[in-house]
C-alpha cells in the first residue's frame, strides 16, 4: 500500500509543483483582467458616444430650424421660397451631419412642414408624430415605417401665426440588449424640432 502511495506521489509531484508555480505566477494577469473587462468597458464607452451624438444631432436640427424660420418671420421668404428652398435652408445648416437635400424628399430621412394656424392654442393640436403606431415598434419591418404626413410649405402673410416642424430619422449604430436608443423600426430614432411664432407685420 505504501509503495503504491509513494509511486503515485512521484508521478503527481511534477504536476503539483507546476500547479503551485502557476498559482504564484502573476505574469499575464493584466491581460486576463483586460480581456474580462474589455467588452463591458468598450460597450459603455460606445454607449456614451452614441448618446452624445444623438443629443448633438437633435440640437443641430433644432438650431437649423430656428435659423431657417427667421427668414419666414421677417418676411424675407415671401414669394421666394417653396418646399425645396426651405429644405435647402435647413440642410445647409446641418454641417453635413444629416442625409438630406432640397430635391429628394421621397427617399430622404428629413420631413418638413410649414403652415399657418389660427392662433398659438391651435398650434398645439397640430403637433403630432409623423409615423404610424406600427413604425414605433422597433421590431417591425423597416419597410413598414413610412411617413404618415406629407411635406408642406406655406409661410403665410404678415402677422400670421406659423408652425414649422422638422423630423429626421436618425440611424442608430449601437444596438445592445440593455442599451438601444431606437424609437422606431429600421433601427432609427425619430428626431423632431418644432417652432411656433408670429410673423412680423410686413406687407402682403
99, part of any domain: yes
User: How many structural domains does the chain have?
Assistant: 1
C-alpha cell read off for 58? 437633435
Q: Is residue 111 part of a domain?
A: yes
Q: Does some domain include residue 9?
A: no
- Provide the residue range defining the domain that includes 64: 50-198
Rounded CA-CA distance 174/181 in Å is 8
Q: Does 26 fall in a domain?
A: no
Pairing status of strand 152-153 against strand 110-117: parallel
The SS3 assignment for 146 reads coil
Residue 8 lies in a domain: no
Q: Is residue 7 part of a domain?
A: no
Q: What is the pLDDT along the chain (204 residues), one digit of tens a residue?
A: 545 556 556 655 565 565 555 555 556 666 777 777 888 888 889 999 999 999 999 999 999 999 999 999 999 998 889 999 999 999 999 988 898 876 555 557 999 999 999 999 888 888 888 988 888 888 888 877 888 998 999 999 999 999 999 999 999 988 877 788 998 888 999 999 999 999 999 875
Beta bridge partners of 196: 163
- In a domain, residue 182? The reply is yes
How many angstroms separate the CA atoms of 197 and 97, rounded? 27
Amino acid at each position: 500500500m505504501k509503495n503504491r502511495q509513494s509511486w503515485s506521489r512521484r508521478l503527481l509531484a511534477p504536476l503539483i509543483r507546476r500547479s503551485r508555480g502557476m498559482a504564484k505566477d502573476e505574469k499575464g494577469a493584466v491581460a486576463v483582467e483586460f480581456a474580462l473587462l474589455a467588452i463591458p468597458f468598450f460597450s459603455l464607452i460606445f454607449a456614451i458616444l452614441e448618446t452624445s451624438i444623438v443629443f448633438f444631432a437633435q440640437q443641430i436640427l433644432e438650431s437649423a430650424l430656428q435659423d431657417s424660420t427667421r427668414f419666414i418671420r421677417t418676411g424675407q421668404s415671401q414669394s421666394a421660397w417653396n418646399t425645396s428652398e426651405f429644405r435647402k435652408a435647413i440642410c445647409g445648416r446641418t454641417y453635413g451631419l444629416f442625409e438630406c437635400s432640397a430635391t429628394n424628399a421621397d427617399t430622404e430621412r428629413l420631413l418638413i412642414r410649414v403652415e399657418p394656424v389660427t392662433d398659438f392654442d391651435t398650434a398645439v393640436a397640430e403637433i403630432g408624430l409623423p409615423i404610424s403606431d406600427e413604425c414605433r415598434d422597433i421590431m417591425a419591418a423597416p419597410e413598414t415605417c413610412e411617413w404618415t404626413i406629407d411635406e408642406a410649405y406655406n409661410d403665410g402673410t404678415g402677422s400670421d401665426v406659423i408652425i414649422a416642424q422638422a423630423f429626421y430619422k436618425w440611424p442608430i449604430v449601437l444596438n445592445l440588449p440593455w442599451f438601444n436608443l431606437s424609437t422606431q423600426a429600421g433601427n432609427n430614432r425619430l428626431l423632431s424640432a418644432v417652432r411656433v411664432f408670429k410673423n412680423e407685420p410686413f406687407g402682403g
